[in-house]
Amino acid sequence: MAWKAQRTILMVGEGYDEVAFLNHLKKLYVQRGCGLSVTVKNARGKGARHVIEWTARQIANIKYDVVAALLDTDVDWNAATEKMAGRNKIQVLKSEPCFEAMLLRMLSKPANDAAPVLKKRFAPLVNGDATQADNYATNFDDACLQAGRHKEPTIDALLKLLAP
């Protein structure tokens, strides 16, 4: 069997929900032997600045071809945080203002409320538990994601990262 060079990607989710979604995408688009190795890690919240600092520490000792962080822009997202991401060559995948709003918009559902309201509205779409990757399969299948990439630049960027 021929050896195929691996392109390595580190994808960091701000918290458990983002990590579950990233793992859902990995399961959907990254097949064994495709030449792509995707590592998903959890920065465990605390705002955009923390996510970027945490991601920078992860890549201090391990080299990846691409490093991306999926984070909300409602806490600690500013020019200094963006500059720090750039210095560390971290591709920022922004959920504006939050992860649930982005996915609700992708499904053409209202997403202009406060985060707690959006989380409550989003919960039924993931069987009440947004931390489980399998719960994204029903409402966020390939057809939905492909259609949604035209509405949400972050979804488009994610799908481009995972393309073989």
Amino acid occupying residue 163? A
Residue 16 to residues 1, 61, 67, 114, Cα–Cα distance (Å): 37, 24, 18, 19
Is the pTM higher than 0.85? The answer reads yes
Mean pLDDT within 48-52: 98
Which range of residues forms the domain containing residue 52?
A: 7-161
142 assigned to some structural domain: yes
The b-or-e profile of 133-158 (16+ CB within 10 A means b, else e) is bebbeeebeeebbeebbeebebbebb
2 assigned to some structural domain: no
130 assigned to some structural domain: yes
Averaged pLDDT of the chain: 94
- pLDDT for residue 51 is more than 60: yes
71 assigned to some structural domain: yes
CATH classification of the domain holding 110:
3.40.50
Looking at the chain, the whole-number percentage of residues with pLDDT higher than 70 is 97
Q: How confident is the model at residue 1 (pLDDT cuts 50, 70, 90)?
A: very low
Q: How confident is the model at residue 3 (pLDDT cuts 50, 70, 90)?
A: low
pLDDT (tens digit, 9 = 90+) per residue, 109-145? 999 999 899 999 999 999 999 999 999 999 999 999 9
Place of tokens 């499904």: 107
Name the β-bridge partners of 9: 38, 66
24 assigned to some structural domain: yes
- pLDDT for residue 5 is more than 70: no
Strands 36-42 and 66-72: unpaired
- pLDDT for residue 42 is more than 90: yes
Residue 4: what pLDDT?
57
1 assigned to some structural domain: no
88 assigned to some structural domain: yes
Q: Domains in the chain: how many in total?
A: 1
Place of tokens 């991401």: 85
28 assigned to some structural domain: yes
Residue 124: what pLDDT?
97
pLDDT (tens digit, 9 = 90+) per residue, 66-88? 999 999 999 999 999 999 999 99
Q: How far apart are CA 125 and CA 142, in angstroms?
A: 16
